[in-house]
Amino acid sequence: MNYNHTVFKALQWAFLILDQTTHDRSDAEYLMEHWQKWNHTQLLLHYRDELSEQQWQTFQNMIQRVVNDEPPQYIIGTAPFNDYEFKVTPAVLIPRLETEELCQWALVNIKQHHYQKILDIGTGSGILAITLKKKIPTLKVTATDISQAALQVAQENAQTLHADVTFKQGDLFTPIGDEKFDLIISNPPYIAYNEIAVMDRSVYQNEPHVALFAEHQGLAIYERLAAQLPTHLTPQGQALFEFGYHQQPALQQLFTQAWPQARLTFRKDIAGHMRMLQVQAPKEA
């Protein structure tokens, strides 16, 4: 006698499994929705749909991978960012809400100041560069990354989403020579190695360490960005950065010393933590 594996029963089974772990029930819903290409309302409407035996086996395997601390986004192979769906692999970070807030800040500033030339440093899957280009198609957007594997993912995303972005491989500003930009945006590696013990195990085990960690208490990349930024921003241009919630004092000192004439503005994320920095170039950079 065949057992009827409905979507509802499959999710109830997954909830029981995940409740015995540190993982949230929402991981099961996320997998089902993205696997079946449903939004949450559609998921509820399909609760009584029956899964084939093959689909049931596939879903069980996906839940087991979550139990083994594999991120659902890597299992599905995509992740949402802003209004778009991006391909993600273990070569790139999984998009996070804080980075969406950074992107929104950039969009406001680009429109307000009529910026045209944009640089995304450490583009990863291309979420920032591609989203900015999609939202404001007249922009000239360049994106760099030290990882060829990450750039390959970014280029695929740009092609899929029909975004004309110039990608260059190399370390920070190296690929762009002496070129200047109106707005530079970056979510660089900023986690200190001594923070590994308190990190989410799923992040540490699966996401690319080159995009997560930096020497000097997580500030090594920022030290280099601060030193080189004055030569790559146009007069009255801006740089926007994401950083760790405890790093504001260090970054305030770092950028003030590197560029005393620049104006610094820090902003909190939706959780109330200082997580974003704006560096405003003077009239004569």
Q: How large a percentage of the chain has pLDDT more than 90?
A: 85
Instruction: Indicate if the pLDDT at residue 214 is higher than 90.
Output: no
Known binding-site residues equal 122-126, 145, 187-190
94 and 15 share one domain: no
22 and 102 share one domain: no
- Is residue 190 a part of any domain in this protein? yes
* pLDDT at res. 3: 57
CA distance 197 to 15: 28
Known binding-site residues for S-adenosyl-L-methionine equal 122-126, 145, 187
136 and 268 share one domain: yes
- Is residue 50 a part of any domain in this protein? yes
160 and 58 share one domain: no
- Is residue 208 a part of any domain in this protein? yes
Last residue of a domain, one of 68, 95, 122: 68
Q: How many domains does the chain have?
A: 2
> Once rounded to an integer, what is the mean pLDDT over residues 69-97?
95
- Is residue 76 a part of any domain in this protein? no
- Is residue 74 a part of any domain in this protein? no
Which residue in the block uniquely carries the two structure tokens 């939004």? 39
Predicted confidence band at 195 (pLDDT cuts at 50, 70, 90)?
confident
* pLDDT at res. 165: 99
- Is residue 15 a part of any domain in this protein? yes
Indicate the length of the chain as a whole number.
285
Instruction: Indicate if the pLDDT at residue 273 is higher than 70.
Output: yes
Instruction: Indicate if the pLDDT at residue 285 is higher than 70.
Output: no
Last residue of a domain, one of 26, 45, 68: 68
153 and 52 share one domain: no
CA distance 59 to 63: 6
Q: What is the DSSP letter of 105?
A: H
Known binding-site residues for substrate equal 187-190
Q: What is the mean pLDDT of the chain?
A: 94
39 and 166 share one domain: no
Domain span at 29 = 5-68
Instruction: Indicate if the pLDDT at residue 2 is higher than 60.
Output: no
Instruction: Indicate if the pLDDT at residue 126 is higher than 70.
Output: yes
Q: Which of 251, 221, 244, 254 is nearest to 98 (CA)?
A: 244
> Once rounded to an integer, what is the mean pLDDT over residues 109-124?
98
Q: What is the pLDDT of residues 5-30, one digit of tens each?
A: 899 999 999 999 999 998 999 999 99
Tell me the three state secondary structure of residue 101.
helix
Least confident stretch, 120-124, 139-143, 202-206, 254-258: 202-206
Q: What is the DSSP letter of 95?
A: P
> Once rounded to an integer, what is the mean pLDDT over residues 222-245?
96
212 and 234 share one domain: yes
Last residue of a domain, one of 68, 94, 117: 68
CA distance 226 to 137: 29
Q: What is the pLDDT of residues 149-183, one digit of tens each?
A: 999 999 999 999 999 999 999 999 999 999 999 99
More confident residue, 65 or 4: 65
Domain CATH for 263: 3.40.50.150
